[in-house]
Structure 1
Amino acid sequence: MSTRNETPDVFSPGRLGPLTLRNRTIKAATYEGLSHRGRVTQDLVDFHVAYAKGGVGMTTVAYLAVAKDGRTDRHQVLWTDEAMPGLRALTDAVHAEGAAVSAQIGHGGPVAEARGNRSPALAPSARTNVIAMNRSQAATRADIDRIVAAHGHAASRAVEAGFDAVEVHLGHNYFASAFLSPKLNRRDDEFGGSLRNRAKVARGILQAVRDAVGDRIAIVAKMNMDDGAPGGFWLDEAIPVAQWLEADGTLDALEMTAGSSLLNPMYLFKGDVPLDEFAGVMPQPIKAGVKAVGHRLLKAYPYTDGFLLEDAKQVRAAVDLPMVLLGGVSSREVMDTAMAEGFGFVAMARALLREPDLVNRMQADETSRSLCIHCNKCMPTNYTGTRCVLVDRRTTRSASWGKPEGYAATTPGPSGEWDASHHGS
């Protein structure tokens, strides 16, 4: 492996595959809850323009499902002809502010919203999801082939829509991540058993994406290094998978994450557990379940700055791929540490929800740090429009983000979504 002797300034330009970012900061994917009936809304455009104006090198649109049955929310954007004008409006608006924009693509698998999708959630093996109160069914070979191909199609459409990169979701026990997990994958066919077999779906997805886009846009993968559950996928398996992906030549960068939306949702979100807020936005009978047993399913973990750094450093030492550090990036000190440890980029989520202009302020004053208190009350807001609840943003947004009646007054289109009459493709 090559040596990484030079420590770049986090605010210097960074090369990501065919793309050069104006600096090395990335707005991490956080589901916005601002799309409607599979279309982009003006609120969603404004959400990402704020981070572009705030100085990030790239913002990430989350989560753009590759298939209808892969949505984790029934309003999520799908890669349909009808969605393309809105997606182009979004990328144009971000580019106008000097930032790049990435599309996070994936399939929810066992995390998908079966009721809203009106189709079963798919998993490597049949399993009951206690949190969502549904049961997933085992994916067939035809399901796997279809979903792998759908990632390639989504990546091609991302190029058409003007995205600079795609971030392929291999984490949090979504479809590909569930196949990687020995706890969730109990198959006895070519996709189960050994790590090489369990990694076939992830590797196949990335090969389909690379075949679809070539080197026209950058390809990033967000991959678990720890499910946060006994018997789940862990660092000792994440390292060889990262090495295989590097050898495959399908990636331009790798971002390590942690936690399982099925088994331990709070493992990534260190800090407080806002149980009352979660219960407040849930429909029955899930609301009653959260109130009754939420304290057992949603566990609290202490927050520390750069909380994924030590584990991610072990992956960093094993591959030459450019890497993005995620998790507790809230100060210039953490950013500089990441650069010194050989990471090429840093990704910020909650810190930017609190202060969209944080990157500009840090660049102007290196002592600036995030005001985020890690209360995690932003998490339940993705049902109504993701935001920091501690900030009173008196804008034109509706008080009922995410609900059909709230969009008509604040966004283009009769239902709030973009269509061809509002923005040409």
Structure 2
Amino acid sequence: MTRQPPLSSGSSGSAPPDPFAPARLGPLTLRNRVIKAATFEGVTPQGLVTDELIEYHRRPAAGGVGMTTVAYCAVAPEGRTERRQIWMRPEAVPGLRRLTDAVHREGAAISAQLGHAGPVADARSNRLPALSPGRFFSPLGMRMTRAATAEDLTRVIGAHASAARIAIESGFDAVELHFGHNYLASSFLSRRLNRRDDAYGGSLANRAKVALGIARAVRDEVGDTIAVTAKLNMDDGVPGGFGIDESIQVARMLQDEGTVDALELTAGSSLLNPMYLFRGEAPLREFAAAFPQPMRLGIRLAGGRFLRAYPYEEAFLLPSARRFREALDLPLILLGGITRRATIEQAMAEGFGYVAMARALLREPDLVHRMAGEPDVQSLCIHCNKCMPTIYRGTHCPLIATPS
């Protein structure tokens, strides 16, 4: 299979690329190098596309992003974070086609984030056991997880390929494979969560089999029809978890196999330490208000042990991401607290191919257009993270009017 050559890192004396000019991503040409990162939209109560979901993605598309990413398109019923999440199946195709058409009309590309939530799944909501490397109590579903069998893993890997085919039928330009945040593939990478003694545990090569198998199956299914990216944890942010040194090795495995066109570098564990990804204030009061009693009181009293606050800094994942840039030729997508044009230009100068933005685009969907025209523009996002609890009623920035 012929692969696209990696983007120039700019380290050979050449000028860094213009972030607001067209750029290649595998077989795809994006109108610029800014990607709207996947953030759960919270507007699919039946697990199918709604007008609200279409508008959620149409706004940043009209606002100038090169590509928007539809969050958490589960590959299997038990792989949803909870029942309101889209599950990729034939029934979903007509709505997904309406969504992709709407984004394309605004001039942007659209990606489907494919994944299996594994131990992050809410088994109580899904009414199905959450799969994980081993059996343990999940605080998210308040249930014991079920240790995935070899047959389960073969099925899940195949389900990713089937979901990628549905994405093509639905008009998506790319898929993003979710290998982060202690979702299923990520949980297998973690020594803390994966204590198996079979072919999927122990050595890093064994622990990486799920992620590598998914990437291989998806690439075999889609060929060069659409772009394939992967969202990979650099660091789980928990003692004994998956860390940078092992992550770089897995990234090299993906690069050597040629199964992905770019890696989006992320961090943190939705299961054990979610704020490690978000940084900034931990909105305990707002999260508590989203739940009935007695859970509300429990969150107020003990939620700080789970939602730990970390200081916010512009481009807070860049120091770790630099190590990946030094070690790899594969195009990389920089994520994490990007709110200024100068930061985007810095990422290009340091050899990153693209940047991904999330919270800033909730506050200002037209931010990319404004950045392209006004170099000194900075996002109005104050990193309060009060958008996080809004996932239960339609994700939005609570500092502006609820989107209509």
* Contact 1:123–1:136 (8 Å) recurs in 2: yes
Find the residue that maps to 1:317 and give its secondary structure: helix
Matching residue of 1:33? 42
Is the partner of 2:155 in helix, strand or coil? helix
- 1: CA distance, partners of 2:389 / 2:403: 20
- After TM superposition, where is structure 1 displaced by more than 4 Å over at least 4 residues in a row? none
Counterpart check, 1:380 vs 2:373? no
Find the counterpart in structure 2 of residue 367 from structure 1. Answer: 376
* Alignment partner, residue 22 of structure 1: 31
- Give the whole-Å Cα distance in 1 for the aligned partners of 2:265 and 2:136: 26
Distance change in 2, residues 1:285/1:176 (3 Å): farther
Q: Which residue in the other structure is 1:167 paired with?
A: 176
- How far residue 192 of structure 1 moved from its aligned partner, in angstroms, is 0.3
Give the C-alpha shift of residue 282 in structure 1: 2.4
Match of 1:300 among 309, 319, 334: 309
Instruction: Report sequence identity in percent.
Output: 61
Aligned twin of 2:87: 78
Contact 2:121/2:140 (<8 A) preserved: no
- Letter matched to residue 366 of structure 2: D
Cα distance, 1:133 vs structure 2: 2.3
Matches within 5 A, 1:248-397: 248-393=257-402, 395=404
**Partner SS for 1:105:** strand
Counterparts of 1:316 and 1:265, CA distance in 2: 24
What is the rounded CA distance, in whole Å, between the counterparts of 1:259 and 1:55 in structure 2?
28
Structure 1 residue 284 displacement after superposition: 4.9
Determine the structure 2 residue equivalent to 1:42.
51
Matched, 1:209 2:218: yes
Contact 2:331-2:353 at 8 Å conserved across structures: yes
Contact 1:107 1:175 in 2 (8 A): yes
How many Å separate the matches in 1 of 2:92 and 2:402? Answer: 28
Moved more, 125-134 or 346-355: 125-134
Displacement of 1:62 = 0.5
User: Deviation of residue 29 (structure 1)?
Assistant: 0.3
Residue 68 (1) aligns with residue 77 (2): yes
Superposition pairs of residues 236-251 of structure 1, within 5 angstroms:
236-251=245-260
Q: Kindly provide the amino acid, as one letter, of the partner of residue 166 in structure 1.
A: V
* Residue 136 in structure 1 maps to residue 145 in structure 2: yes
Shift of 1:291: 2.0
Residue 136 (structure 2) aligns with: 127
Of 165, 184, 196, the match for 2:193: 184
The residue correspondences of 1:76-115 to structure 2 (distance < 5 A) are: 76-115=85-124
Supply the distance in 2 between the matched residues of 1:360 and 1:154 (Cα, whole angstroms).
Answer: 32
Deviates further, 180-189 or 134-143: 134-143
Per the TM alignment, residue 83 of structure 1 is displaced from its structure 2 partner at its CA by: 1.0
SS of 1:157's equivalent in the other structure is helix
1:302 maps to amino acid: P
- Give, in angstroms, the shift of residue 131 of structure 1: 4.3
- Shift in Å, 1:253: 0.4
Count the aligned residue pairs: 395
- 1:55-94 Cα offsets, whole Å, 9 max, x none, are 0000000010000000002011111222110000000000
Q: Secondary structure of 1:150's match?
A: helix
Alignment-mate amino acid for residue 366 of structure 1: P
Distance of 1:369 and 1:143 partners within structure 2: 46
Counterpart-to-counterpart distance in 2, 1:149 and 1:230:
32
Give the drift of 1:285.
4.9
TM-score (structure 2 length as normaliser): 0.96
Please give the secondary structure, in 2, of the residue aligned with 1:268.
helix
Identify the range of structure 1 (292-301 vs 95-104) with the bigger mean alpha-carbon deviation: 292-301
Aligned equivalent of 1:155: 164
Cα deviation, residue 283, structure 1: 4.4
Contact 2:120 2:140 in 1 (8 A): no
CA distance in 1: counterparts of 2:132 and 2:51, whole angstroms: 34
Say whether the 8 Å CA contact 1:331–1:370 is kept in structure 2.
yes
Q: CA deviation at 1:3?
A: 5.9
Q: 1:130 Cα shift?
A: 2.8
**Alignment match, 2:64:** 55
**Paired AA for residue 86 in structure 1:** G
CA distance in 1, matches of 2:118, 2:359: 25
The amino acid across from 2:287 in the alignment is F
TM-score after normalising by structure 1: 0.91
C-alpha RMSD of the superposition: 1.2
Matched with 1:218 is 227
Secondary structure in 2 matching 1:222 = strand
Aligned equivalents of 1:233, 1:106: Cα separation in 2? 18
> In the superposition, relative to structure 1, how do residues 273 and 51 fare at CA in structure 2: closer, same or farther (>3 Å)?
same
Secondary structure of 1:85 counterpart: helix
Structure-2 separation of matches of 1:377 and 1:183? 30
Q: Which runs of 5+ in 1 are unaligned?
A: 396-425
Closer, same or farther: CA 20–388 of 1 in aligned 2, 3 Å: same
User: 2:229 matched to 1:229?
Assistant: no
CA contact (8 A) 1:131 1:286 kept: no
Structure 2 alignment gaps of length 5 or more: 1-5
Read off the aligned partner of 1:138 and give its amino acid letter: A
Amino acid at match of 1:25: V
Letter in 1 for 2:39: T
Q: Secondary structure at the match of 2:383?
A: coil
Match of 2:155 among 142, 146, 149: 146
TM-aligned CA deviation for residue 179 of structure 1: 0.1
Matched residue type, 1:308: L
> Counterpart of 2:96 in 1: which secondary structure?
helix
SS of aligned partner of 1:225: strand
Taking the aligned partners of 1:140 and 1:378, their CA distance within structure 2 comes to 37
User: Aligned-pair distance for 1:129?
Assistant: 1.9
